[in-house]
């Protein structure tokens, strides 16, 4: 059993928490099989037409369009152009935004929609909204910075990522799209809840009781439940179920386990309840979700990374 997760890139012996390069597509067909990674990913079309599957929902993008892919969001990219094309890839760990924008006061409400699986933000922003902004120029500047690696290039790239992220937040706000979670979380609260998040991520396939997590966080049951709900905008049961569904997605695209086996592997006691929740969260059945993806049998199925330039 394996998860098709793309790891951090190691370039010249250095592990980067951001990447910017051009991906060249030579023909029509699958570009990347279904996969996921911890990066937040932004794609910018240079030429060609593409379909990106995000959690089972198809989106088209073309020259001048901008695509936003959440951290750990399962996605697949296909080319619709016989001659292929090009698009810019910008990937960065969520921690880049934390460090760049929220050093003094961790305003997680702005970042959570791009980390959580239930983020409801617009996935593709049309060329007409992008072309007269600084976004295209900034992306090409990042390509140059990453290729040339002049003195201080790391600061330049992080600054550019921060500007793009802020533009996205203001764009959604201007469009009346309420993606920001209505909660302010300070560092102390996050630190106190962290043991619960860590425990759930490692034991989601087991029975988890709120009282046990409250003890881990040195909180009373009522205070833990209230704080958890305010922090994530959902109760513990829903949070656990969403993690289980997310892990089920990865199994569906990376293994030959049947639906019942997937359900049990991620912690659901009945297949029917798993199917019901999957349909609720993903608007499709597990079977249909699996059918929509090209299943890669190993990491060797992925295209090789191309040179980081925009020539």
Say whether both 158 and 18 belong to one domain.
Answer: yes
Say whether both 98 and 236 belong to one domain.
Answer: no
Residue 133 is assigned to a structural domain of this protein: yes
pLDDT for residue 141 is more than 60: yes
Find the mean pLDDT for residues 161-183. 76
pTM of the complete model beyond 0.75 = no
User: Which residues are within 8 A (CB) of 55 and not within 5 positions of it... i.e. 6 or more apart?
Assistant: 73, 74, 75, 117, 249, 282
Q: Which pLDDT score, from 0 to 100, does residue 115 have? A: 58
3-class state of residue 214 by DSSP: helix
Residue 304 is assigned to a structural domain of this protein: no
Say whether both 154 and 63 belong to one domain.
Answer: yes
Find the mean pLDDT for residues 247-275. 92
Q: Which pLDDT score, from 0 to 100, does residue 86 have? A: 96
Say whether both 173 and 233 belong to one domain.
Answer: no
Find the mean pLDDT for residues 162-167. 90
CATH code for the domain of 121: 2.60.120.280
Q: Which pLDDT score, from 0 to 100, does residue 275 have? A: 96
Question: Which is higher by pLDDT, 244 or 172?
Answer: 244
Say whether both 44 and 110 belong to one domain.
Answer: yes
Residue 3 is assigned to a structural domain of this protein: no
Say whether both 27 and 66 belong to one domain.
Answer: yes
Lowest mean pLDDT among 174-178, 270-274, 281-285: 174-178
pLDDT for residue 263 is more than 90: yes
Residue 201 is assigned to a structural domain of this protein: yes
User: Structural domain of residue 222, as residue ranges?
Assistant: 187-291
Of the candidates 22, 192, 185, the residue with the CA atom closest to the CA atom of residue 115: 185
Say whether both 163 and 199 belong to one domain.
Answer: no
Tokens 């881990």, located at residue: 216
| Domains in the chain, number | 2
Q: Residue 219 to residues 194, 222, 225, 250: CA-CA distances in angstroms?
A: 12, 8, 9, 33
Mean pLDDT of the chain: 81
Strands 85-92 and 18-25: antiparallel
Of the candidates 50, 40, 42, the residue with the CA atom closest to the CA atom of residue 86: 50
Structure confidence at residue 3 as a pLDDT band (50, 70, 90): very low
Q: What is the pLDDT of residues 26-50, one digit of tens each?
A: 999 999 888 888 788 999 999 999 9
Say whether both 197 and 127 belong to one domain.
Answer: no
Residue 300 is assigned to a structural domain of this protein: no
Say whether both 58 and 200 belong to one domain.
Answer: no
Residue 4 is assigned to a structural domain of this protein: no
Of the candidates 232, 269, 261, 262, the residue with the CA atom closest to the CA atom of residue 247: 262
pLDDT for residue 121 is more than 80: no
Residue 154 is assigned to a structural domain of this protein: yes
Q: Which pLDDT score, from 0 to 100, does residue 105 have? A: 36
Say whether both 16 and 112 belong to one domain.
Answer: yes
CATH code for the domain of 285: 1.10.10.60
Question: Which is higher by pLDDT, 161 or 37?
Answer: 161
Q: Which pLDDT score, from 0 to 100, does residue 13 have? A: 52
Q: Which pLDDT score, from 0 to 100, does residue 175 have? A: 78
């Amino acid at each position: 059993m394996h998860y098709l997760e793309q790891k951090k890139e190691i370039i010249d012996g250095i592990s980067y928490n951001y990447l910017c390069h051009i991906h060249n597509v030579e023909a029509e067909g699958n570009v990347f099989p279904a996969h996921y990674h911890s990066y937040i990913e932004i794609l910018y079309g240079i030429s060609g037409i593409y379909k990106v599957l995000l959690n089972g929902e198809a989106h088209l993008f073309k020259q001048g369009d901008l695509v936003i892919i959440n951290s750990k969001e399962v996605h697949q990219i296909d080319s619709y152009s016989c001659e292929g094309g090009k698009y810019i890839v910008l990937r960065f760990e969520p921690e880049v935004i934390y460090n760049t924008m929220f050093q003094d006061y961790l305003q997680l409400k702005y970042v959570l929609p791009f980390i959580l699986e239930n983020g409801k933000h617009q996935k593709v922003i049309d060329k007409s909204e992008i072309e007269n902004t600084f976004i295209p120029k900034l992306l090409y500047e990042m390509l140059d910075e990453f290729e040339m690696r002049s003195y201080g290039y790391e600061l330049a790239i992080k600054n550019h990522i921060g500007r793009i992220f802020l533009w996205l937040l203001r764009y959604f706000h201007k469009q009346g799209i309420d993606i920001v979670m209505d909660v302010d979380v300070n560092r102390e609260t996050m630190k106190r809840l962290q043991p619960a998040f860590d425990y759930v991520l490692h034991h989601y396939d087991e029975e988890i009781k709120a009282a046990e997590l409250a003890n881990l966080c040195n909180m009373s049951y009522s205070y833990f439940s209230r704080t958890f709900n305010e922090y994530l905008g959902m109760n513990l049961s829903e949070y656990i179920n969403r993690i289980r569904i997310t892990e089920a997605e990865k199994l569906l695209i990376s293994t030959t386990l049947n639906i019942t086996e997937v359900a049990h592997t991620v912690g659901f006691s009945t297949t029917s309840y798993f199917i019901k929740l999957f349909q609720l969260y993903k608007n499709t059945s597990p079977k249909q979700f699996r059918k929509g993806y090209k299943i890669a049998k190993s990491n060797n199925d992925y295209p090789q990374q191309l040179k980081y330039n925009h020539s």
